[in-house]
Amino acid sequence: MAVHTFECIDAHTCGNPVRVVKSGGPALIGETMSEKRQHFLKEYDWIRKGLMFEPRGHDMMSGSILFPPHNPKNDFAILFIETSGCLPMCGHGTIGTITIAIEKGLITPKIPGKIRMEAPAGLVEIEYQQTADKVDWVKLTNVKSYLAARDLTIICPVLGELKFDVAYGGNYYAIVDPQKNFSGIQDFSASKIIQLSQELRQRINLKYPDHFIHPENTTIRDVSHILWTGTPIDPASSGRNAVFYGDKAIDRSPCGTGTSARIAQLHARGLLQPQTDYVHESIIGSKFIGRVEAVTTLGTFPAIIPSIKGWARIYGHNTLTIDTEDPYALGFQVI
């Protein structure tokens, strides 16, 4: 029997939650954050479940735990925790974590205004602007992203046959654009998109097993997110999305790795040129600015180096406990 205590700072990135675990995180074994992610999943996933699921969290909860860097040239390392698991990379989580870490002094960058962050998916370089004690914005140069497959098909029980692409932006996304049987997210409620996504993701991974495996890290695999697109709320925006993740969550932000996947898809299809802003709206209308910073390769695939710019705001400090005598110590979900 034991009580485990975690000091946390809560924020949101363009509407989606970020809970940084300031203290109470475990010591992990590994030479990289990818290896430490595997150790966490094997031995400490109860921490993720306890802090992310109800009653301490909720269906959209997302967070991170900070670690010292493995390379002394870098500023810190990060583990992402959320209801959907320990993601290799999380864009909105990075923006929120950097905002919290700078404003609350959790890290001291070697170069003010710039940060080198070790994520399980790889090194992420970050810029931020600070005015007085507030971080105005965070821009991350993400891991290499690419279009993994195009013009695949799947049968959706409600909509019928759908065509989709799969792109990687730190996680694998099935991207569903408006077409004959799907007019766009503007015509669907969030609850309906969740209902469609739950079945669709399962069907995609069953129909296309072992199709989506990272060329350089085999622990990153399979479609974990569904990105539905549609007409923007603001006519000046480039696009709008509803990203499904976890078991029943829609990202309230425009989704950082989702935006990376989206602009990788658009660039591969000749629809987005390098150094061109792509203003991406979320389901609630909040915005990220995505950009193709450079063209590269990932394994045998043509790829891009994307950047994502957004903002976050801190809204709470809390001390959470996980008591092993609590029958809901490991959290729960009501599906």
Peptide bond into 55 cis (omega under 30): yes
Q: Which of 8, 14, 86, 255 is catalytic?
A: 255
Count of helix runs (H) and strand runs (E) in the chain: 5, 17
Instruction: State the sign of the Cα–Cα–Cα–Cα dihedral 130, 135, 137, 138.
Output: positive
The type of residue at 330 is L
The type of residue at 30 is G
Closest CA to 6 of 27, 26, 21, 16: 21
What DSSP character marks residue 25? P
Q: Which of 14, 86, 90, 156 is catalytic?
A: 90
Active site residue 255: yes
Active site residue 14: no
Which residues pair with residue 271 across a beta bridge? none
Own/partner pairs for 270-277, CB < 8 Å, 24+ apart? 274/304, 277/238
User: Active-site residues: which are they?
Assistant: 90, 255
